[in-house]
Chains A and B, each alone.
Chain A
C-alpha cells in the first residue's frame, strides 16, 4: 500500500515508523479527536507530552537547542505516520513552523528558552502570523514602540492550539518593517476568540489591545514578513503534505477493507468492477501523493531553493487534492455507514479538509507554482 519510499540505509526511518505505530497503539487518534470535539479542546496535552518524550516536537531543532537535530526526511516519515493514525495534533504548526521560525533568528535567552521548551513540551509556542482578510474590518497587528519595548494592537487569524499555548510567536508590522515577538499567552491585552475547526479542534483568532511586550522578547527584525516566514511556511507545508499523504493512504486502506467485508448480492462489493476501478483510481492518487512528498524532501535536501519551493508547492497541492478527494470517495464507498458520525472515515475526511485548507489550498498553490516557474 502507498507509502513515501525513501532510501533508508541505516533503518532509521523504519524505526521511526515503528515507534509512531507503537505510539498510535497507545494513543488512539480517533478517540483523541472525538474527545477534543466534545470538550472544545485544541491539543491533547497527554499525547503532546508523550510526543515530546519521543523526541518529535523538537525533531527538527538543532541538538544544541534541545532538539533531535534531524531533517525533513525524518519529519516527513513521522508526519505521514501521524496522518495515517489520525493523530491530529498541531505538529506542523506548533513544532515544524515554530521551530523553523526560531531556527532562523539570532541567539537570545528567549529563543533558547522557547526551543528547549518546545522540545520537552514545557512550552507550547504557536505561530500567530496570519492577517485578517482584506474584506474584514479587523486590522493586522501593529507594534508601536514604547519605553521598554512595544505595544501590540490588532488581530491575528488562524491560530492553532491557542488555548493550550504558553506563548505566541507574533509577526507584527512596525515602522521599520516587521518584528517577530514572543508573547506569553497570559499577557494582559490578548483575547482568544475560538471557533470550532471542521476536524474537532478549535481554531482561534487573537485580538491584541495595547498588549505590552518587553524588548527582551523581540526575537527578530526584518524588512518584510516574507523574510521571516518563507522557511517556516516551506517546512510546514511539506510536513502537512506528508500528513495528508498518510491520511490519503490510510483512508484508502480502510475503504479497501470495508468493501472486501461488505457483502451485497451475495458477494463482497469489492468484487464489482465499478467499485474496483474507483479503488484503483484512489490508490493511484495516493501513490502520486507519496511520490510527490519524496520528491519534495529530496529536492529540498539537494539545496536549490527555488527548485525546493516548486517541489513543496507541488507536494502540498498534490497531497491536499489526493487526501480530500480520496476521503470523499471513501465516504461514498462506505454507503450510509460513511455518513454516520460513528464511522471513522468521516473523521479522516474532516481532517483532510482542514489540512488541505491550511497554508493554501491546492488551486492557489498551483497558481503560485506557475507564477514562480514562469517568472524565471
Chain B
C-alpha cells in the first residue's frame, strides 16, 4: 500500500511532490509553448508519473491513484504549474477515470483504468457538436440499439486532442422524443472502429488542438455503455467537482503579467504614466484574484464543498488574461503587426501568441455568458 498522502502536513507534501517533479520532469518539456502537446510529445513524462504512481492524483489508491484530498490536489496542481510542467493529454485521468470509478461496472473499471495509467488508451471527450455548444443538451449524434451493439451516426466538434487519442467518451442521443436532457447516453468508443473519421482543426495560434470527429454507422458493443441508457446527462454533468476551481486559477494571467512586465521594462513603458495607470489596474486585478481564489481554496482545505459561486473566478481570470494580453499588443506599438515573438532585451516575449491564446478560455469550459446564466439562477436566485 502506498503512503497516505493526506496524512502529510500540506507543506511537507508540497516539498516531497515538488522535489521529485523537479528532478524527474525532463527540462526540455518545461514551459512548452504548446498549450496542448500531443501524447507522444510528452509520453516520457506521462510514463514517469505512472511509474511513480503519481499520474492520477484524485483516483482512489485501490485504482492506482494517489487518493488526494481536494486540498492536496490543489498543491499538486500549483506545483505542477510553478515548475512549468507540460499539460499531458489528461481526459483519461481527469474525466474518464473518475466517471468509471463512479458509474462504471466492475469489468469496465478493471479493463479501462489500468490502460489509462499505462498510456495504452488515450482518451478524448466527445461532447460538443456543430449545433450543440453552449446548449449541449440539444446534441443530435444518435445511437440506435441493434442487437447487442449501438450504432452511432453524427458528428462531434471541438474534440480536444482527438487526433492523438484512440478512445472517445461520447454523448449520444438515444431518445428523440424525451426532453433533451432525458434522452442522452454515455458510450465508450474505440476510435479505430470502422466508420470513425477524425479531422484536426487548426486554431488561431496555428496549432491543431482540437478536431472534428465523424461517426458513420459506428458499431459499439452494449458493454461500452456507462451508467444507464438515457441517463447520460447526469453522468456527463458530474465530472467537475472541486476541480471547477482550477478553471478559475490565476495561472494564465499570472504568467501573462510577468511577460507584460518583461516587455514593458524592455520598452521603457514604466516611464509612461498612462501605461503605469493601466498596468496598475491589471496588477491589482491579479492580486485581488489571488484573494478571491484563496477564499474558495480555504473551503476545500477545510473539507467543504464548492458551490456554483466558484465560477465567478473563471469569468474573472479569463477576462483578465485577455486584458493583459491586449495591453501587451498596445506596448508593442507598431510591432504588434508581427506574427512572431518580440525582442525584450534578454529574451523573447510571445505577445501575439498569448493574445491569441487568451481568446479561448473565455469560451471553453462553459462560455462566460453561460456562467453568468448559471450564477443568476443558482446563486442570485433570479426568476427564469
A contact residues vs B (CB 8 Å cutoff):
5, 256, 259-260, 267-268, 270-271, 273, 275-277, 279-281, 283-284, 287-288, 291-292, 294-295, 310, 314, 317-318, 363, 366-367, 369-370, 373-374
Contact = CB atoms under 8 A, between A and B. Distances in A.
B284 interface: yes
Contacts of B277: 363, 366-367
B292 A280 contact: no
Given A284-B315, A370-B276, 10 more contacts: A5-B298, A267-B383, A276-B372, A281-B372, A284-B316, A288-B292, A291-B295, A314-B291, A366-B280, A367-B280
Interface string B357-384: 0000000000001001101100110111
Contacts of A366: 277, 280-281, 283-284
B287 interface: yes
Interface string B273-311: 000110111011001111110110010000000000100
Nearest to A363: B277
Contacts of A287: 292, 309, 312
Contact of A280 (B279, B280, B295, B372): B372
11 contacts: A5-B295, A275-B382, A277-B369, A280-B375, A281-B372, A283-B312, A284-B316, A287-B309, A295-B288, A314-B288, A369-B280
A370 B291 contact: no
Given A271-B383, A370-B279, A277 B291 contact: no
Contacts of A288: 288-289, 291-292, 312, 316
B375 A283 contact: yes
B382 A256 contact: yes
Contact of B382 (A279, A284, A292, A374): A279
B380 A280 contact: yes
Contacts of B294: 291, 295
A277 B372 contact: yes
A344 B289 CA distance: 31
Given A256-B382, A284-B316, A363-B277, A318 B372 contact: no
A369 B292 contact: no
Given A287-B309, A295-B294, A370-B276, A314 B376 contact: no
Contacts of A310: 287
A294 B291 contact: yes
A314 B375 contact: no
B379 to A, nearest CB: 7
- Interface range, B side: 20 to 34
Interface in B123-175: none
A260 B295 CA distance: 29
A265 B343 CA distance: 57
B374 to A, nearest CB: 9
Contacts of A281: 372
B288 A291 contact: yes
A276 B283 contact: no
Contacts of B291: 288, 291-292, 294-295, 314
A367 B279 CA distance: 9
A256 B379 CA distance: 12
B281 A276 contact: no
A288 B294 CA distance: 11
A7 to B, nearest CB: 8
Contacts of A370: 276, 279-280, 283
A344 B79 CA distance: 49
Nearest to B375: A280
Interface of B: 270, 276-277, 279-281, 283-284, 287-292, 294-295, 298, 309, 312, 315-316, 369, 372-373, 375-376, 379-380, 382-384
B106 to A, nearest CB: 42
Contacts of B384: 271
A367 B277 CA distance: 7
Nearest to B316: A284
Contacts of B295: 5, 291, 294
Contacts of A260: 382-383
B50 to A, nearest CB: 38
A5 B383 CA distance: 27
A283 B379 contact: yes
Contact of A271 (B279, B283, B379, B382): B382
Contacts of A277: 369, 372, 376
A113 to B, nearest CB: 40
Nearest to B315: A284
A363 B279 CA distance: 11
A369 B380 contact: no
Contacts of A275: 382
B313 to A, nearest CB: 9
A367 B380 contact: no
B281 A280 contact: no
B68 to A, nearest CB: 23
A246 to B, nearest CB: 17
| Residue from B294, B383, B384 whose CB has the most chain A CB atoms within 10 Å | B383
B373 A276 contact: yes
A369 B283 contact: yes
Contacts of B312: 283-284, 287-288
B280 A318 contact: no
Given A291-B292, A295-B294, A370-B283, A276 B316 contact: no
A72 to B, nearest CB: 15
A373 B287 CA distance: 12
Given A271-B384, A314-B284, A279 B276 contact: no
B376 A292 contact: no
A283 B311 CA distance: 12
Nearest to B295: A291
B287 A314 contact: yes
Contacts of B292: 287-288, 291-292
A373 to B, nearest CB: 8
B295 to A, nearest CB: 5
Nearest to B270: A374
A288 B248 CA distance: 13
Contacts of B289: 288
A367 B282 CA distance: 11
A276 B284 CA distance: 26
A283 B312 CA distance: 9
A277 B375 CA distance: 9
Contacts of A276: 372-373, 376, 380, 382
A268 B381 CA distance: 13
A329 to B, nearest CB: 14
Nearest to A277: B372
A318 B284 contact: yes
Contacts of A292: 288, 291-292
A256 B315 CA distance: 21
A310 B375 CA distance: 31
A283 B380 contact: yes
A295 B297 CA distance: 13
A290 B241 CA distance: 24
